[in-house]
């Protein structure tokens, strides 16, 4: 498709993705660039979009071998609307911890995506929320009810705004860092200190756009602070409590990898490999069994506190660690005991 044909057909195309290459972007083929950027994308789908003339760099149609450079604007246009704009209410069971006319607190299971996006157009928390509640307000990203989110394979508590007033009031609390959020995480290695603070800007990795990196010099990314306290040690892994002072994408996952303690079984950040321990076959089998029990990153949003939008009362909620994390931790606890015998 020529630029002229694309322009004439513009009314029939919908923007599905829009990326701006970072200042540190090394020249990279646009097909590989999009593979790094778009979660769950297949090479075949990206190649088809390029062949159809639906991939633009700086508003010009490009071929697959076009090199993306710093500050380039890359867009993917397709003939159908993005699925995330076609929200469908679904009767999905929700673990509702609390609900009134302003807010709802839900305990999200691991494996549930919070909102629709590429590769996950149904079965999300938002699909269930709009079935359960009519006329949810939308945030700046047009996502109903959401004032914060947690990753697909992270379990735990989320607060949902049911009115415009609640949306604004809660959003301000998250912006002002006055909410209280505690997470439990199982991380590789024996943490040296019983408690501490991890501080360092978090931004998209220049090498893998599906990961976040830490930039301690502060020249890139957004300011991020994580406080941690050791709860229990198991020789080769450590159970920690994390308190978020900021709420950046993958903050806990990126911060702990940065200090050499990647989350246990966090595939995206390399935690699905044996990072600490021995070379004995029995140990490898034990770790593999832990991975089978806990087939996701060991992270749970345990505690959530905020000021209620209308009553102004402080509300604090706590959730039990899910069964898969409890089982993996119990395995490590028993393993450590037997090692000492």
| pLDDT tens, N- to C-terminus, the chain (341 residues) | 333 333 334 344 556 788 888 888 889 999 988 888 776 677 888 888 888 888 999 988 899 999 999 999 998 876 555 655 568 899 999 999 999 999 999 999 999 999 877 666 789 999 999 999 988 998 777 789 999 999 999 999 999 999 999 999 999 999 999 999 999 999 999 999 999 999 999 998 877 767 899 998 888 889 999 999 999 999 999 999 999 999 999 999 999 999 999 999 999 999 999 999 998 999 999 999 999 999 999 999 999 999 999 999 999 999 999 999 999 999 999 999 877 65
pLDDT value of position 10: 38
Whole-model pTM? Answer: 0.78
Catalytic residue among 31, 151, 153, 324: 151
Phi and psi torsions of 272, nearest 5°: -85, 0
**Whose CA is closest to 156, among 221, 107, 219?**
107
Q: In what order do the strands lie in the sheet containing 14-20?
A: 14-20, 73-78, 55-57, 60-61
Which residues fall within 8 angstroms of residue 324, CB to CB, at 6 or more apart? Answer: 110, 293, 294, 295, 296
Q: Could you confirm whether 3 is annotated as catalytic?
A: no
The residues spanned by each domain of the chain are 3-81, 84-176, 180-340
Dist CA 204 CA 36 (whole Å): 11
pLDDT value of position 79: 59
Dist CA 147 CA 124 (whole Å): 16
Domain 84-176 in CATH 3.30.2350.10: yes
Q: Are 75 and 55 in contact (CB under 8 A)?
A: yes
Dist CA 290 CA 328 (whole Å): 5
Dist CA 49 CA 35 (whole Å): 12
Dist CA 225 CA 198 (whole Å): 6
Please give the CATH topology (third level) of the domain spanning 180-340: Pseudouridine synthase (3.30.2350)
Give the CATH number of domain 3-81; options: 3.40.50.2300, 3.10.290.10, 3.90.1150.10, 3.40.630.30.
Answer: 3.10.290.10
Report percent pLDDT > 90 for the chain.
Answer: 67
Query: Sign of dihedral through CA atoms 121, 123, 125, 126?
Result: positive
Q: Are 246 and 223 in contact (CB under 8 A)?
A: yes
180-340 has the same fold as 84-176: yes
């Amino acid at each position: 498709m020529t630029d002229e044909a694309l322009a004439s057909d513009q009314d029939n195309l919908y923007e599905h993705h829009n990326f701006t290459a970072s200042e540190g972007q090394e020249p990279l083929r646009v097909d590989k660039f999009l593979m790094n950027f778009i979660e769950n994308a297949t090479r075949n789908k990206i190649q088809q979009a390029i062949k159809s003339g639906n991939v633009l760099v700086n508003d010009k149609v490009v071929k697959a071998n076009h090199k993306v450079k710093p500050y380039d604007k890359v867009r993917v246009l397709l003939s159908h609307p993005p699925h995330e704009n076609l929200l469908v209410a679904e009767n999905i069971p929700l673990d509702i911890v609390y609900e009134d006319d302003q807010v709802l607190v839900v305990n999200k299971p691991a494996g549930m995506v919070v909102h629709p996006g590429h590769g996950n157009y149904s079965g999300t928390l938002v699909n269930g929320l709009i079935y359960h509640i009519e006329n949810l307000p939308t945030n700046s990203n047009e996502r109903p009810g959401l004032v914060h989110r947690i990753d697909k394979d992270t379990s735990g508590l989320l607060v949902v705004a049911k009115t415009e007033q609640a949306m604004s009031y809660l959003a301000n609390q998250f912006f002002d860092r006055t909410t209280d959020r505690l997470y439990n995480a199982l991380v590789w290695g024996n943490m040296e200190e019983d408690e501490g603070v991890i501080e360092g800007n978090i931004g998209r990795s220049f090498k893998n756009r599906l990961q976040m990196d830490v930039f301690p010099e502060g020249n890139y990314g957004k300011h991020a602070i994580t406080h941690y306290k050791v709860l229990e040690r198991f020789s080769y892994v450590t159970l920690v409590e994390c308190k978020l002072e900021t709420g950046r994408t993958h903050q806990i996952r990126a911060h702990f990898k940065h200090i050499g303690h990647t989350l246990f079984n966090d595939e995206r950040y390399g935690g699905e490999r044996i990072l600490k321990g021995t070379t004995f076959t029995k140990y490898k089998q034990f770790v593999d069994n832990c991975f089978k029990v806990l087939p996701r990153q060991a992270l749970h949003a345990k505690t959530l506190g905020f000021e209620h939008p209308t009553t102004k009362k402080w509300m604090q909620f706590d959730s039990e660690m899910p069964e898969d994390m409890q089982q993996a931790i119990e395995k490590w606890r028993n393993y450590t005991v037997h090692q000492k015998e």
